[in-house]
Protein backbone atom coordinates (compact mmCIF):
# COMPACT_ATOMS: atom_id res chain seq x y z
CA UNK A 1 0.00 0.00 0.00
CA UNK A 2 1.56 3.31 -1.08
CA UNK A 3 0.97 6.99 -0.54
CA UNK A 4 2.55 9.43 -3.07
CA UNK A 5 5.10 6.81 -4.00
CA UNK A 6 6.14 6.15 -0.41
CA UNK A 7 5.25 3.09 1.56
CA UNK A 8 2.99 3.86 4.48
CA UNK A 9 4.39 3.15 7.92
CA UNK A 10 1.59 0.66 8.48
CA UNK A 11 -0.16 -0.82 5.45
CA UNK A 12 -3.64 -2.30 5.50
CA UNK A 13 -2.22 -5.83 5.42
CA UNK A 14 -0.24 -5.18 8.60
CA UNK A 15 -3.24 -3.69 10.38
CA UNK A 16 -5.56 -6.54 9.35
CA UNK A 17 -3.02 -9.25 10.22
CA UNK A 18 -2.56 -7.56 13.58
CA UNK A 19 -6.33 -7.71 14.16
CA UNK A 20 -6.38 -11.40 13.24
CA UNK A 21 -3.52 -12.09 15.64
CA UNK A 22 -5.31 -10.11 18.34
CA UNK A 23 -8.43 -12.30 18.10
CA UNK A 24 -6.46 -15.52 17.72
CA UNK A 25 -4.33 -14.71 20.75
CA UNK A 26 -7.37 -14.03 22.88
CA UNK A 27 -8.31 -17.60 22.04
CA UNK A 28 -4.81 -19.03 22.53
CA UNK A 29 -4.03 -17.13 25.71
CA UNK A 30 -7.21 -18.19 27.42
CA UNK A 31 -5.66 -21.65 27.18
CA UNK A 32 -1.98 -20.88 27.77
CA UNK A 33 -1.97 -19.96 31.50
CA UNK A 34 -4.16 -22.93 32.42
CA UNK A 35 -2.63 -25.48 30.02
CA UNK A 36 0.15 -26.72 32.36
CA UNK A 37 -2.43 -26.86 35.16
CA UNK A 38 -4.85 -28.76 32.89
CA UNK A 39 -2.09 -31.22 32.00
CA UNK A 40 -1.22 -31.73 35.67
CA UNK A 41 -4.84 -32.37 36.65
CA UNK A 42 -4.87 -35.18 34.08
CA UNK A 43 -1.82 -36.80 35.70
CA UNK A 44 1.10 -35.13 33.90
CA UNK A 45 4.43 -34.35 35.64
CA UNK A 46 7.68 -32.48 34.88
CA UNK A 47 8.74 -34.80 32.05
CA UNK A 48 5.33 -34.61 30.35
CA UNK A 49 5.44 -30.82 30.82
CA UNK A 50 8.79 -30.67 29.04
CA UNK A 51 7.54 -33.04 26.35
CA UNK A 52 4.46 -30.89 25.74
CA UNK A 53 6.42 -27.65 25.78
CA UNK A 54 8.85 -29.03 23.23
CA UNK A 55 6.36 -30.77 20.97
CA UNK A 56 4.17 -27.67 20.76
CA UNK A 57 6.85 -25.88 18.80
CA UNK A 58 9.01 -28.60 17.24
CA UNK A 59 6.17 -30.32 15.42
CA UNK A 60 5.50 -27.10 13.54
CA UNK A 61 9.07 -26.88 12.24
CA UNK A 62 8.56 -29.19 9.28
CA UNK A 63 5.49 -27.25 8.16
CA UNK A 64 7.33 -23.94 8.54
CA UNK A 65 9.94 -25.15 6.06
CA UNK A 66 7.26 -26.35 3.61
CA UNK A 67 5.05 -23.28 3.74
CA UNK A 68 8.03 -20.95 3.75
CA UNK A 69 9.21 -22.57 0.53
CA UNK A 70 5.81 -22.84 -1.17
CA UNK A 71 4.72 -19.31 -0.29
CA UNK A 72 7.73 -18.12 -2.33
CA UNK A 73 7.29 -20.63 -5.12
CA UNK A 74 3.54 -20.07 -5.56
CA UNK A 75 3.82 -16.37 -4.71
CA UNK A 76 0.81 -16.69 -2.44
CA UNK A 77 0.59 -15.76 1.23
CA UNK A 78 -3.07 -15.43 2.24
CA UNK A 79 -4.20 -18.99 1.54
CA UNK A 80 -1.51 -20.39 3.85
CA UNK A 81 -2.32 -17.84 6.54
CA UNK A 82 -6.02 -18.76 6.51
CA UNK A 83 -5.33 -22.52 6.49
CA UNK A 84 -2.99 -22.24 9.47
CA UNK A 85 -5.44 -20.29 11.60
CA UNK A 86 -8.24 -22.73 10.69
CA UNK A 87 -6.20 -25.79 11.79
CA UNK A 88 -5.38 -24.12 15.11
CA UNK A 89 -9.01 -23.21 15.77
CA UNK A 90 -10.11 -26.78 15.09
CA UNK A 91 -7.55 -28.23 17.51
CA UNK A 92 -8.73 -25.92 20.30
CA UNK A 93 -12.29 -27.16 19.95
CA UNK A 94 -11.11 -30.76 20.41
CA UNK A 95 -8.80 -30.12 23.39
CA UNK A 96 -11.39 -29.74 26.20
CA UNK A 97 -12.61 -33.28 25.61
CA UNK A 98 -9.27 -34.75 26.75
CA UNK A 99 -9.56 -37.26 29.60
CA UNK A 100 -5.89 -38.26 30.09
CA UNK A 101 -2.68 -36.22 29.75
CA UNK A 102 -1.67 -38.21 26.65
CA UNK A 103 -4.66 -36.70 24.83
CA UNK A 104 -3.23 -33.22 25.45
CA UNK A 105 0.18 -34.35 24.18
CA UNK A 106 -1.50 -35.60 21.00
CA UNK A 107 -3.84 -32.65 20.37
CA UNK A 108 -1.72 -29.61 21.19
CA UNK A 109 0.78 -30.28 18.38
CA UNK A 110 -2.14 -29.92 15.94
CA UNK A 111 -2.49 -26.32 17.05
CA UNK A 112 1.25 -25.85 16.48
CA UNK A 113 0.95 -27.40 13.01
CA UNK A 114 -1.50 -24.60 12.27
CA UNK A 115 1.04 -22.12 13.55
CA UNK A 116 3.70 -23.72 11.37
CA UNK A 117 1.50 -23.41 8.30
CA UNK A 118 0.64 -19.74 8.83
CA UNK A 119 3.69 -18.15 10.43
CA UNK A 120 6.30 -17.96 7.60
CA UNK A 121 3.81 -16.66 4.98
CA UNK A 122 2.34 -14.25 7.53
CA UNK A 123 5.78 -12.91 8.48
CA UNK A 124 6.77 -12.73 4.81
CA UNK A 125 3.54 -10.82 4.17
CA UNK A 126 4.44 -8.34 6.91
CA UNK A 127 7.93 -7.98 5.44
CA UNK A 128 6.48 -7.59 1.90
CA UNK A 129 4.13 -4.89 3.19
CA UNK A 130 6.89 -2.83 4.81
CA UNK A 131 10.31 -1.42 3.96
CA UNK A 132 13.60 -2.08 5.72
CA UNK A 133 13.44 1.37 7.32
CA UNK A 134 10.16 0.64 9.09
CA UNK A 135 10.20 -3.15 9.29
CA UNK A 136 10.91 -3.10 13.02
CA UNK A 137 7.80 -0.96 13.51
CA UNK A 138 5.73 -3.30 11.35
CA UNK A 139 6.79 -6.44 13.22
CA UNK A 140 6.57 -4.60 16.54
CA UNK A 141 3.06 -3.32 15.80
CA UNK A 142 1.91 -6.82 14.89
CA UNK A 143 3.56 -8.27 17.98
CA UNK A 144 1.94 -5.59 20.18
CA UNK A 145 -1.56 -6.49 18.96
CA UNK A 146 -0.74 -10.17 19.22
CA UNK A 147 0.26 -9.64 22.84
CA UNK A 148 -2.70 -7.36 23.60
CA UNK A 149 -4.79 -10.36 22.61
CA UNK A 150 -2.72 -12.38 25.05
CA UNK A 151 -3.53 -9.90 27.82
CA UNK A 152 -7.24 -9.98 26.99
CA UNK A 153 -7.19 -13.76 26.76
CA UNK A 154 -5.42 -14.35 30.07
CA UNK A 155 -7.70 -11.82 31.82
CA UNK A 156 -10.68 -13.66 30.33
CA UNK A 157 -9.32 -16.94 31.69
CA UNK A 158 -9.01 -15.38 35.16
CA UNK A 159 -12.56 -14.01 35.02
CA UNK A 160 -14.02 -17.29 33.81
CA UNK A 161 -12.19 -19.31 36.48
CA UNK A 162 -12.16 -17.07 39.56
CA UNK A 163 -15.39 -15.09 39.15
CA UNK A 164 -17.71 -17.22 37.04
CA UNK A 165 -16.52 -20.58 38.34
CA UNK A 166 -15.95 -22.19 34.95
CA UNK A 167 -14.05 -25.47 34.94
CA UNK A 168 -10.82 -25.78 32.96
CA UNK A 169 -12.52 -27.82 30.20
CA UNK A 170 -15.27 -25.26 29.67
CA UNK A 171 -12.78 -22.39 29.60
CA UNK A 172 -10.84 -24.16 26.83
CA UNK A 173 -14.07 -24.71 24.87
CA UNK A 174 -14.81 -20.97 24.99
CA UNK A 175 -11.30 -20.37 23.63
CA UNK A 176 -11.97 -22.69 20.69
CA UNK A 177 -15.11 -20.78 19.70
CA UNK A 178 -13.24 -17.46 19.76
CA UNK A 179 -10.51 -19.04 17.61
CA UNK A 180 -12.95 -19.44 14.73
CA UNK A 181 -13.95 -15.77 14.97
CA UNK A 182 -10.35 -14.84 14.19
CA UNK A 183 -10.70 -16.24 10.66
CA UNK A 184 -13.11 -13.54 9.48
CA UNK A 185 -10.76 -10.53 8.93
CA UNK A 186 -8.39 -12.56 6.72
CA UNK A 187 -10.68 -11.94 3.74
CA UNK A 188 -9.38 -8.34 3.75
CA UNK A 189 -5.74 -9.41 3.32
CA UNK A 190 -4.22 -9.13 -0.17
CA UNK A 191 -1.08 -10.74 -1.56
CA UNK A 192 1.28 -7.89 -2.53
CA UNK A 193 1.85 -7.67 -6.26
CA UNK A 194 5.53 -7.03 -5.64
CA UNK A 195 6.27 -10.61 -4.52
CA UNK A 196 9.08 -11.56 -6.89
CA UNK A 197 7.76 -13.50 -9.87
CA UNK A 198 10.64 -13.15 -12.28
CA UNK A 199 12.42 -16.32 -11.27
CA UNK A 200 11.36 -19.84 -10.37
CA UNK A 201 12.15 -20.66 -6.78
CA UNK A 202 13.97 -23.97 -6.41
CA UNK A 203 15.30 -24.18 -2.89
CA UNK A 204 18.86 -25.29 -2.34
CA UNK A 205 20.58 -25.15 1.02
CA UNK A 206 23.54 -23.30 -0.46
CA UNK A 207 21.19 -20.47 -1.51
CA UNK A 208 20.90 -19.36 2.13
CA UNK A 209 23.50 -16.62 2.74
CA UNK A 210 26.35 -17.36 5.14
CA UNK A 211 25.29 -14.55 7.47
CA UNK A 212 21.86 -16.16 7.80
CA UNK A 213 23.34 -19.58 8.61
CA UNK A 214 25.56 -18.01 11.26
CA UNK A 215 22.52 -16.28 12.69
CA UNK A 216 20.69 -19.62 12.78
CA UNK A 217 23.46 -21.07 14.96
CA UNK A 218 23.46 -18.16 17.39
CA UNK A 219 19.69 -18.00 17.83
CA UNK A 220 19.63 -21.79 17.99
CA UNK A 221 22.05 -21.76 20.93
CA UNK A 222 19.93 -19.20 22.71
CA UNK A 223 16.76 -21.20 22.00
CA UNK A 224 18.25 -24.28 23.67
CA UNK A 225 18.21 -22.34 26.93
CA UNK A 226 14.87 -20.61 26.38
CA UNK A 227 12.64 -23.27 27.93
CA UNK A 228 8.84 -23.17 27.85
CA UNK A 229 6.93 -20.57 29.86
CA UNK A 230 4.98 -23.49 31.38
CA UNK A 231 7.85 -24.17 33.77
CA UNK A 232 7.47 -20.63 35.11
CA UNK A 233 3.74 -21.20 35.65
CA UNK A 234 4.45 -24.33 37.70
CA UNK A 235 7.29 -22.53 39.52
CA UNK A 236 4.82 -19.79 40.50
CA UNK A 237 2.57 -22.38 42.18
CA UNK A 238 5.43 -23.51 44.40
CA UNK A 239 7.16 -25.92 42.06
CA UNK A 240 4.74 -28.77 42.72
CA UNK A 241 2.06 -30.44 40.64
CA UNK A 242 -0.84 -30.14 43.05
CA UNK A 243 -2.87 -26.92 42.99
CA UNK A 244 -5.35 -24.96 45.04
CA UNK A 245 -7.73 -22.34 43.68
CA UNK A 246 -5.46 -19.64 45.15
CA UNK A 247 -2.38 -21.03 43.39
CA UNK A 248 -4.16 -21.20 40.05
CA UNK A 249 -5.41 -17.62 40.48
CA UNK A 250 -1.88 -16.44 41.34
CA UNK A 251 -0.30 -18.14 38.33
CA UNK A 252 -2.90 -16.70 35.93
CA UNK A 253 -2.46 -13.23 37.49
CA UNK A 254 1.32 -13.37 37.02
CA UNK A 255 0.82 -14.50 33.45
CA UNK A 256 -1.44 -11.48 32.88
CA UNK A 257 1.29 -9.22 34.31
CA UNK A 258 3.82 -10.75 31.92
CA UNK A 259 1.55 -10.17 28.93
CA UNK A 260 0.77 -6.57 29.90
CA UNK A 261 4.49 -5.76 29.96
CA UNK A 262 5.02 -7.73 26.74
CA UNK A 263 2.20 -5.89 24.94
CA UNK A 264 3.14 -2.44 26.20
CA UNK A 265 6.77 -2.73 25.08
CA UNK A 266 6.52 -4.71 21.81
CA UNK A 267 5.90 -1.73 19.52
CA UNK A 268 8.46 0.54 21.25
CA UNK A 269 10.96 -2.33 21.00
CA UNK A 270 10.38 -2.45 17.23
CA UNK A 271 10.91 1.31 16.97
CA UNK A 272 14.09 1.03 19.04
CA UNK A 273 15.42 -1.70 16.75
CA UNK A 274 14.90 0.58 13.74
CA UNK A 275 17.03 3.21 15.47
CA UNK A 276 19.84 1.26 17.17
CA UNK A 277 19.78 -1.87 15.01
CA UNK A 278 18.22 -5.29 15.37
CA UNK A 279 21.40 -6.89 16.73
CA UNK A 280 21.84 -4.38 19.55
CA UNK A 281 18.18 -4.72 20.49
CA UNK A 282 18.52 -8.50 20.67
CA UNK A 283 21.62 -8.18 22.86
CA UNK A 284 19.60 -6.10 25.31
CA UNK A 285 16.80 -8.68 25.15
CA UNK A 286 19.15 -11.59 25.83
CA UNK A 287 20.51 -9.67 28.83
CA UNK A 288 17.00 -9.33 30.23
CA UNK A 289 16.53 -13.11 29.85
CA UNK A 290 19.68 -13.68 31.89
CA UNK A 291 18.35 -11.31 34.57
CA UNK A 292 15.00 -13.14 34.52
CA UNK A 293 16.68 -16.44 35.30
CA UNK A 294 18.78 -14.89 38.08
CA UNK A 295 15.72 -13.37 39.75
CA UNK A 296 13.74 -16.63 39.66
CA UNK A 297 16.78 -18.47 41.03
CA UNK A 298 17.58 -16.07 43.88
CA UNK A 299 14.25 -14.64 45.00
CA UNK A 300 11.81 -17.47 45.77
CA UNK A 301 8.98 -15.28 47.09
CA UNK A 302 6.07 -13.27 45.73
CA UNK A 303 8.29 -10.21 45.11
CA UNK A 304 10.70 -12.33 43.12
CA UNK A 305 7.83 -13.81 41.09
CA UNK A 306 6.45 -10.36 40.24
CA UNK A 307 9.87 -8.99 39.23
CA UNK A 308 10.68 -12.18 37.33
CA UNK A 309 7.49 -12.12 35.25
CA UNK A 310 8.00 -8.40 34.50
CA UNK A 311 11.54 -9.08 33.27
CA UNK A 312 10.25 -12.03 31.25
CA UNK A 313 7.81 -9.67 29.52
CA UNK A 314 10.56 -7.15 28.72
CA UNK A 315 12.75 -9.93 27.33
CA UNK A 316 10.01 -11.24 25.03
CA UNK A 317 9.12 -7.75 23.80
CA UNK A 318 12.73 -7.08 22.83
CA UNK A 319 13.44 -10.44 21.15
CA UNK A 320 10.35 -12.22 19.82
CA UNK A 321 9.58 -9.96 16.86
CA UNK A 322 13.10 -8.60 16.37
CA UNK A 323 14.62 -12.05 15.91
CA UNK A 324 12.35 -12.55 12.90
CA UNK A 325 12.86 -9.00 11.67
CA UNK A 326 16.63 -9.49 11.62
CA UNK A 327 16.20 -12.76 9.72
CA UNK A 328 14.07 -10.86 7.18
CA UNK A 329 16.74 -8.16 6.91
CA UNK A 330 19.43 -10.75 6.19
CA UNK A 331 17.35 -12.67 3.63
CA UNK A 332 17.29 -12.01 -0.15
CA UNK A 333 13.80 -10.74 -1.05
CA UNK A 334 12.99 -13.62 -3.42
CA UNK A 335 13.84 -16.15 -0.68
CA UNK A 336 12.32 -14.26 2.24
CA UNK A 337 9.56 -16.80 2.95
CA UNK A 338 12.02 -19.68 2.63
CA UNK A 339 14.55 -18.08 4.97
CA UNK A 340 11.90 -17.13 7.54
CA UNK A 341 10.42 -20.63 7.35
CA UNK A 342 13.75 -22.41 7.80
CA UNK A 343 14.78 -19.95 10.51
CA UNK A 344 11.60 -20.60 12.49
CA UNK A 345 11.97 -24.33 11.87
CA UNK A 346 15.40 -24.25 13.51
CA UNK A 347 13.86 -22.50 16.52
CA UNK A 348 10.98 -25.00 16.61
CA UNK A 349 13.19 -28.08 16.55
CA UNK A 350 15.50 -26.72 19.23
CA UNK A 351 12.57 -25.62 21.39
CA UNK A 352 11.66 -29.29 21.68
CA UNK A 353 15.13 -30.10 23.00
CA UNK A 354 15.14 -27.06 25.26
CA UNK A 355 11.93 -27.92 27.08
CA UNK A 356 12.71 -31.62 27.22
CA UNK A 357 16.15 -30.90 28.70
CA UNK A 358 14.56 -28.48 31.19
CA UNK A 359 12.06 -31.18 32.19
CA UNK A 360 14.88 -33.67 32.77
CA UNK A 361 16.92 -31.14 34.74
CA UNK A 362 13.85 -30.32 36.85
CA UNK A 363 13.19 -34.01 37.58
CA UNK A 364 16.80 -35.08 38.22
CA UNK A 365 18.61 -32.06 39.70
CA UNK A 366 15.77 -29.86 40.89
CA UNK A 367 13.69 -27.00 39.54
CA UNK A 368 16.20 -24.23 40.33
CA UNK A 369 18.85 -25.70 38.03
CA UNK A 370 16.82 -24.88 34.90
CA UNK A 371 17.47 -21.19 35.57
CA UNK A 372 21.23 -21.72 35.70
CA UNK A 373 21.00 -23.67 32.45
CA UNK A 374 19.00 -20.91 30.73
CA UNK A 375 21.29 -18.09 31.90
CA UNK A 376 24.51 -19.82 30.78
CA UNK A 377 23.27 -20.51 27.24
CA UNK A 378 21.83 -16.99 26.90
CA UNK A 379 25.19 -15.47 27.88
CA UNK A 380 27.02 -17.68 25.36
CA UNK A 381 24.61 -16.67 22.57
CA UNK A 382 25.02 -13.00 23.48
CA UNK A 383 28.77 -13.21 23.04
CA UNK A 384 28.38 -14.82 19.60
CA UNK A 385 25.69 -12.35 18.54
CA UNK A 386 28.19 -9.49 18.76
CA UNK A 387 29.98 -11.02 15.73
CA UNK A 388 26.94 -10.75 13.42
CA UNK A 389 27.43 -8.15 10.68
CA UNK A 390 25.18 -7.06 7.82
CATH of domain 10-185+209-385: 1.20.1250.20
What's the pLDDT at 333?
A: 65
What's the pLDDT at 334?
A: 66
Range of lowest pLDDT (8-22, 148-162, 287-301): 8-22
The answer to whether the beta carbons of residues 25 and 330 sit under 8 Å apart is no
List, for residues 309-318, the tens digit of each pLDDT value.
999 999 999 9
What's the pLDDT at 205?
A: 56
Average pLDDT over residues 134-139: 74
How far is the C-alpha of 42 from the C-alpha of 64, rounded, in Å? 30
User: Shortest CA distance to 246 belongs to which of 297, 194, 302?
Assistant: 302
**pTM greater than 0.75:** no
What's the pLDDT at 243?
A: 63
How far is the C-alpha of 63 from the C-alpha of 161, rounded, in Å? 34
List, for residues 188-208, the tens digit of each pLDDT value.
878 765 554 444 444 555 666
Average pLDDT over residues 47-61: 70
Q: Is 4 left (phi over 0), alpha (psi -120 to 50) or beta?
A: left
Percent pLDDT > 90 in the chain is: 13
What's the pLDDT at 294?
A: 94
pLDDT band at 325 (very low <50, low <70, confident <90, very high): confident
- The DSSP H or E segment spanning 6 is strand 6-7
Q: How far is CA 208 from the centre of its chain?
A: 24
Cα–Cα distances (Å) from 359 to 173, 279, 296, 374, in that order, read 28, 30, 16, 12
List, for residues 249-263, the tens digit of each pLDDT value.
888 888 889 988 987
Cα–Cα distances (Å) from 139 to 155, 191, 271, 346, in that order, read 24, 17, 10, 20
What's the pLDDT at 35?
A: 82
What's the pLDDT at 290?
A: 95
Q: pLDDT higher for 255 or 345?
A: 255
User: Shortest CA distance to 179 belongs to which of 266, 57, 84?
Assistant: 84
What's the pLDDT at 209?
A: 66
Residues belonging to the chain: 390
What's the pLDDT at 54?
A: 66
Average pLDDT over residues 25-35: 86
How far is the C-alpha of 380 from the C-alpha of 353, rounded, in Å? 17
Average pLDDT over residues 95-99: 85
- Residues 332-351: b if buried by 16+ CB within 10 A, e if exposed: eebbbbbbbbbbbbbbbbbb
The answer to whether the beta carbons of residues 49 and 154 sit under 8 Å apart is no
Average pLDDT over residues 46-55: 71
Range of lowest pLDDT (12-21, 128-137, 193-202): 193-202
Name the average pLDDT for the chain. Answer: 80
User: Shortest CA distance to 311 belongs to which of 291, 284, 286?
Assistant: 291
Range of lowest pLDDT (5-9, 29-33, 166-170, 349-353): 5-9
Percent pLDDT > 70 in the chain is: 86
List, for residues 262-281, the tens digit of each pLDDT value.
878 877 887 888 888 888 89
- Cβ-proximal residues to 165 (8 Å cutoff; 6+ apart), any chain: none
Amino acid sequence: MKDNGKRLLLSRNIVVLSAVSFLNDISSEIIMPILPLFLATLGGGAISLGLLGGLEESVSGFFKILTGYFTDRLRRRRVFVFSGYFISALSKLMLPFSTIWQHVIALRPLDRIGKGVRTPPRDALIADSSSENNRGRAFGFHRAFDTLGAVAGSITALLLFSYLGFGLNLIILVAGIIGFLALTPIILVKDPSRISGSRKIVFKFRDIPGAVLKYYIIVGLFTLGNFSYMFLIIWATGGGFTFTTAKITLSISLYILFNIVYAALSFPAGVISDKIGRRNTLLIGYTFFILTNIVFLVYVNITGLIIGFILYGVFNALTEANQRALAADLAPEHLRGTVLGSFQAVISFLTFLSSLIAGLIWSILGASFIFIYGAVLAFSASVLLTTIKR
